[in-house]
Structure 1
């Protein structure tokens, strides 16, 4: 839910979550697939709702088809809805409720066929409530099998998983847990390394996905495996999702090596792609010390020798890191100024600028320039989303906003 909250708040939507107290604390199921379905439904609801709100309801029900009990998850919104004549088709591959929707809302909603298939693989069903109403109501039903905390710690078949509030982590054998950071931006490398050391971890850096794979395999072969990977999404040579797919293909499971996505764009589609690739969670840039600590504490038990977390709860960038940030910021601003001066807005120039903007968006707030980071992110998104008729004028205006914020 927290992944779509910023987008909902930006649109002024009310996001209501109602979880029945009768639900057991821990259930047997495929947590990765379940998260992907819910994220897709919430992401679509947020994307296609202009006014009103979104409601997520989770409750147990009696069900003969599910063998006695079922988990019912409902996502209801006050958005554009689905026309009656299109309701039967939206779960078909490559079918959208309205051909004009992508142009109006900047997305396709084509994750529904995938979500429906995932529900079937878990023995459940995803349907659209066909009652006439404002907006849409999607209902996911799954077999409900409770288990206790002890059972949640017992490995089960590869096709299953345990959805629990306390994910497992490797035994750290009394040494500082080793964390691999796959990140190509030198400023972020230094910032995250400083944070991890302050939190009592031993960080290593991989500048791209291919190097991350090699380092994971080497560490594993040497008997000093990494406890967790922080994986940037956009990297040269090989991106984060592809690196994750290959690691999972090598038989390195999530129980052995949790992988947490790092990206400046916390959009539902991006996060869903990360989960589909085999990642376990998402941490938005700019990374904060508190956010990093919370994420790592969720996915692993800290070793007994790890330093206790004391004040301050933030990391102040060193003079060296700040100077490097100013250099990278200056390079990005110069690139934008040169585009405007020369009037060159080809796809090649814009792709290059988007890469620099992505890095600026993920670091600026750490240096007290959150407004600049937001402006950089807006232009990065606009380069791919703005229509061709007004694109150049919007880019010029966005560059002007960035220069003023800098």
Structure 2
């Protein structure tokens, strides 16, 4: 993906591809650009690109990246990120990395407190906790978690079954906590 294209640049094109439906949304995308500063490369990755190759590129480097991204590992389960990289990038640019990390830590604490592993869940309390997490998770880019919390809140307040959604909530909680730890550790390095 050429980063600097007329009309639609590579970052915007990548975001559109990643937001599309179906298998094409996960096609490997490699940035090809002369912009290779670390913050520029980080913006490519945050937009959903898988790697980058600097211009003028070396054929061996390009082929290595293509090989790495197109080899299918049948033993590993691919787990998509829980955070929307575009929201993460925008929020970090707006509030700074240090404050973004504090916000992630607060979300992790809230997730752990509001949704501990337990089977005796009170419907009223769960609706309250889920409601609080809709905006907290959504504002930081954890849109899938926010959506599940919204569904659980609705089920709790309308009197319908919510118990079938609890395993999904637990899985998303664990994935989100893991991703928060990974983000904070990677950025600190």
Q: TM-score of the superposition, structure 2-length normalised?
A: 0.35
Q: TM-score when scaled to structure 1?
A: 0.17
Larger radius of gyration: 1
Query: With CA pairs under 8 Å and 6+ residues apart, which has the higher RCO, 1 or 2?
Result: 2
